[in-house]
Amino acid sequence: MNSQIYRLALLSKIDDELDERKEEFGDLPDKLKNIEKRLEEAKIRFEESEQILSDNKKFAANAKVKLKSLKEKEDKLSKQQFLVRNNKEFDAITKEIENIRDEYGKLSTELRTTGIKEENLNAKIDEQKQDVKSIESELKDAKEEFNTITNDQDEDVKLLVKKRKDTLKKINKEFIKEYNRIRDHTLDAAVRVKRNSCSGCFSSIPPQKIVEIRNNLEMIFTCENCGRILYPEDIIINDEDIFG
């Protein structure tokens, strides 16, 4: 029972068990990744809007200060206009006042636009906050589902992983390489000969080969049809071999 072929058969059964447990998760791991990605994107959108809102508020605060100072400047110039000594000075001050009023008008318009923008932005931010919350709750549910399956499987998986590690240590490296190569495209890489056929693809095996398989337990024989590693019919791996 310590032959290389027995150990390969054992490894294959352990991997079957692990694959089965992985299948129980279905598309849940992909779903989790997808929700996490969506959550990250929603958070970025929300943070971007918050940034724009904060920039808008800063602009509005600065604009108010600036408007006040423009108003003061205008008042001061208006008073100066009474004290001018000639037309040239009068015209110069008039021009300056016009410029200030112009600037004041432009800035006031901008400030009003910012106010409207802020209202829209607040509505958008509320929506985005809701989005983040709803995706977070979706993620929580999916994680709970994932953890339930994980907890149910925990003991078995720990045993299987340990048994797999121990088994791998006892198998020839070349055989492991061959096993992994086959497993890349065929999950059940080592299968039992059953009623003179490969139990992976059900094609029949020549009698001479069956004898060779039975008599050479330190060699790898593969199915000519599907390429799986074949092990003799009398090697039967049961639960005790795997979990014991």
Residues that bind Zn ion (CB under 5 A): 198, 200-201, 223, 225-226
Residue length of the chain: 244
User: Helix, strand, or coil here: 204?
Assistant: strand
Q: How many C-beta atoms surround the C-beta of residue 79 within 10 A?
A: 9
Residue 94 or 225: which CB sits closer to Zn ion? Answer: 225
Closer residue to Zn ion (CB): 209 or 214: 209
Q: Which residues, other chains included, contact 180 with Cβ-Cβ below 8 Å and sequence gap of 6+?
A: 189
Query: How many whole angstroms separate alpha carbon 107 and alpha carbon 176?
Result: 75
CA-closest candidate to residue 53, choices 130, 42, 45:
45
State in angstroms the smallest separation of the CB of 228 from Zn ion: 5
What is the CB-side half-sphere exposure of residue 113 using CA atoms within 13 A? 7
Residue 194 pairs in a beta bridge with 197
List of E strands, 162-216:
190-194, 197-198
- Closest to 115 (Cα-Cα) out of 66, 67, 59, 65: 59
Q: Which is nearer to Zn ion, 49 or 197 (CB)?
A: 197
Q: Distance between CA 4 and CA 175 in Å, rounded?
A: 8
46 vs 221, beta carbon nearer Zn ion: 221
Minimum distance, C-beta of residue 224 to Zn ion, in the bound complex (Å): 8
Please, what is the minimum distance in Å from the beta carbon of residue 198 to Zn ion?
Answer: 3
Nearer to Zn ion, 129 or 214 (CB): 214
Minimum Å gap between C-beta 180 and Zn ion is 18
> How far apart are CB 225 and Zn ion at their closest, in Å?
5
β-sheet bridge partners, residue 222: 229
> Given the complex with Zn ion, which of 35 and 223 has the nearer CB atom?
223
CB of 194 to Zn ion, least distance (A): 11
